[in-house]
Chains A and B, each alone.
Chain A
Amino acid sequence: MPQGPLSGIRVFDMTLAMVGPWGAMQLGGMGADVIHIEQPTATGAGVPPTINGTSIGYIAWNMNKRGLTLDMKSPQDRANAYELLKTCDVFMMNMRPDVAGRLGVDYETLSQINPGIIYLTITGWGQSGPMRDVPGADPQVRFFTGFHQGVGAEGAPDEVYRRYTLFDATTGNYGAQAILMALVARKKSGKGQRIDLSMMRAGSAVQTPRIAEYLATEQEPVPMGSQSQSTAPDRAYLAQDGRWLGLSATSEAEWRGFCKAIQHPELIDDARFATNADRVDHRKELDAIIEPAIAEYPVDYWRLEFDKVGVPSNIVIRWSELRWHAQAMQNDYIVPIDTKAWGRVWTGGPPWQFSGTPGKWFSTPGIGEHNDEIIAEVQELRAAAARSNTPTPTERA
């Protein structure tokens, strides 16, 4: 089954912008037939940069899909949508809560058409509450959920990550999780279900360790540069060649290896540094020993020494190198993909490697590129249903 684990699953992807499209793209990369539904007036323009009328986001968030345009306000297109939905396993949308009813794709309607449908809605803030109707986008949700807390240089205010998409992608990922869990549950129950997800709760879930610490102590984390809040030694140190080496010793075995590598084995028995909690409490004293030690040799020396003792370390690898880096290329974390609007782009590939069902990553479709092909499939289904006079099968699991 080399097509990917979701081979045979069909997704009706009525999502916009990034959060929904990203989640659907993940399902497509695992072999689902993802049909990206757009308005006939859609253009693919949007956030800059835009090349040949197509936005960076449209290219990056809609790989692994087929493209279909439908005007859900036209009776004929809506009938085609419903026919298609009978063959789908998953429905996804991320519009404001009231839009689904207006477009005839509310859960009540769709679950009658197809009781096996797994129906995911993604909102910014949830289906209720005072902020229900407030538009929610990645930066707003990051500000609201405190993603900046404890981030930044020492002594600086809490710093905001200088680009978008981390929470869009995270929410899309949690949404894909929920869809997949419901697909697993459907194998036993035979039934679909509705799932609601908000960016607020997905974005805070990905901060679980930090928020757990806050809830336990009622103390807000304070910016500490490259330093970990919870463990020591776990930060970047300046090496002899003027480059920063990030390293982490987060278990007792790694700590012992670290002391040997920096040729300070006496630290192993130093009571100030006996446990991780002690090392965190005595960070300044610890750094007073480590900083001059690391400054004695260049990063390449330390990379080898720390590898030998199992202490993870690395330097910043900039994009110009990362895009060709063996570690990124050989694991398909970076893949070159040929696109119509942008030509060849380098983009992220699958974050997983399946030994049995690898799946594949393929180029973003044009808007409505597969209209003829998909509508022909729908008409064939309609004709077949008329011939047999029985409902089309919805459960193909």
Chain B
Amino acid sequence: MATLNLLVLVCLLYVALLFAVAFGADRAALHGRSRWLRSSLIYTLSLSIYCTAWTFYGAVGFAARSGLEYLTIYLGPTLVMIGWWYTLRKMVRIGRSQRITSIADLISSRYGKSTLLAVLVTVIAVIGTMPYVALQLQSVALSFDAFAEAEPGGRAPNTEATALWVALGLAIFTVLFGTRNLNANERHHGVVMAIALEAVVKLFALLAVGVFVVWGLSGGVGDTLARIDASNIARWEVSGSRWVGLTMLSAMAFLCLPRMFQVMVVENEDERHLRTASWAFPTYIMLISLFVVPIAVVGLDILPAGSNPDLFVLTLPLHAGQDGLAILSFLGGFSSATSMVIVAAIALSTMLSNHIVMPIWLRMSGKHAMMSGDVREVALLARRFSIVFVVLLGYAYFRLSGGGAALAAMGLVSFAGVAQFLPAMMGGIFWRGATRAGALAGLLVGAMIWFYTMFLPSFGASLLMPQAVLDHGLFGQDWLRPYALFWTNGMDPVVHAVMWSLTLNILTFVTVSIFSFPSPLERLQGAQFVNVFRHTSTTGTWSGGLGQSEDLLTLAQRIMGAVPAQQFFAAAAQRQGLEGYLPEPSTDFLQELERELSGSVGGATAHAMVSQIVGGATVSVEDLMAVADETAQIMEYSNQLEAKSQELQRAARQLREANDKLTQMSVQKDSFLSQISHELRTPMTSLRSFSEILRDSDNLTSEETRRYASIIHDEALRLTRLLDDLLDLSVLENGQVVMNEQVGTLQTVLDRCTAMAVGEGRKLEIIRNREAEDIVLHTDLDRLAQVFINLISNARKYSDAEAPVLTIRSALDRDRVLIDFTDNGSGIPTEEQSVIFEKFARVGQNEAGGAGLGLAICREIMQRLGGSITYLPGQSGTAFRVTLPVSTRVAAQ
């Protein structure tokens, strides 16, 4: 009795330790001191929940019955981990980018956030996990019994009662630690930490027992090998189909088990951890399966015939009187069982509450209740009840199946059940053509065959499945016999069930997918899952109306909690450039919110919640998508179209501008031609008229003759000048002129110009400050002189002063020379100042000689010289300022 009491005490202490570890880890995570919690070592150890009581106790039993066949259960996962690059990497990426909460969420999200699919996957997962949980309860109960039996004068063991106590204890532990956080993506640090500790305990315990068996009970390695050779599992007698079939099955189950998905994808902190786990986890399971055969052989050898080989790990130390080791071994088995039940219950409860309870509750309560009631509270409650429900279902299976089956056989039923998810899941992440209808049909067909050929018969004949059906098929149909579907006699039942269920599952899935048409949302999700590495961002599905932000915030607070929700909204508002807590319900924001919520309640539910508030958007999205049709490609295509149409618009605008310019140029050209015509015709009129007078008129006085001849002469000169100017201007405007850089002082240039201007026409007094003109210029001095002469002669011609005076002032302003030409006339009216540099612009009364091109030419020249000429307003008379860079090179042409 002492040992049994001690055992209970040790158990309680161990559980207390687990509590402490989990609690400490949660606290550490809360305070951000969780770096080491997130290491790849912890991740790898948490994956070891694959090794349950089935491994700890069952593997030895398996080996004792079928030799090396037990290895298939570990070879499959080893291959999957080593091949992480193919599938796991993608699953983890999708899980993180889509905030996936469970395998049901993954499959439902992939196929257009289908609630129906989520429900189906959840139901299959719950049913499929039942035998697995039962297996754990059975093993723990059996191990208690083993201790009880070993007690001298011990009472008769009551396995059922023990199993119930274990079940209740586990349910409480899981509720306490699994539902502290609502958001499944706020990872369960505490639980993961406890699992990691249990992983170490179970490996250590099994290795300790192995070492004790090999070097303690047996005479070392050589002796052990001899015992193996002498045992009844000395030879390889594994059937080929079971070897291949079970390896494949374990590989598939490894990917599909809800609890494996939970630790591998949902609890994954960092994709890089997968890389470490790819070799560390195979090492772990290699070590854990290393001593299985020796323990089995020595157990068979030493223990009395009829002992349950599933308990050799425990009974060998007990038999040898090693109570300490036995307790360690018991703790290892206890660890294996509890960790599996805890994680499986968490994973399944998440699925149950997100995909079954919440949708039903949402439908029943509608928007009002969702706003007023605390969604968070409901979700947590749903999750707690689901945990208890899952554990009790396992207990029910244990009771129903009679608790007598081999552990491995029970495990395989589970494996085959969850393996039905594989086609829908792999098809979903690798094949864009996979549809919701295909996934539903495939899953249904596979699950039904599994249920009929494996699950129901697993309770033993005539409990749930009449013996008649087993022998003669359903309704007496020969080809429907559960162990010989379609007359396939003589197959191993497990291989038979797995082969038929998966083959027909895949076949149905592919066929229905090919012949069905996916909804737009489905295609959108499909593209995102399959091409997760190409675009990790999500595409538009939502458009919200105004004024819904407040409702959304209320909802989010209920689910996420007030502070995180407000932070989330405030951050979104800030990103949108808004103050306060309420962002615009833009498509981006709604999608982000939906993803955030889906971390708590699952994709389909989050979608339903947001759509209830935003209302009608789902329909409009569907409509929109239907119009846009080919989802990703169409979007790409429409982007291209948009780019094209922008390009076209740009081109059109350019054409319009070019056209405007041409029109303007044509108008300018017209007026220019008409100006030219006028300017040419005027002197020619005088020429013709006076030459006709000279020719035709008799008796002209010699005075008249001379005068008319001189008019003809002047007009001819004017015409020549005009033509010269036109030519000059055209050359300057076309940039064909070559400027010759010369060096000289401003003074010499001005001297030359004033000298040339003097003596022509009426008198003009010029005032200069010669000292200031001593500036060396590097420029085309002849062209510059042309400008100066033009300005001087303009002053002489147009100044309206009685005695015209021109003041020329030069100054140096940093690197520029400023030369101002100011006369003493009345200046140019403001409204005409802007046009004086235009061609043919003439101000006021026109004296013979000016064609109105002078200033236009000056402006062109100054531009070529890198300077400018401007009218200087606000002076007493007409004033022009010529600006020239001191030493700049002549603008090259």
Q: Do A and B come from one complex?
A: no
Q: Using CB atoms and an 8 Å cutoff, list the residues of chain A in contact with chain B.
A: none
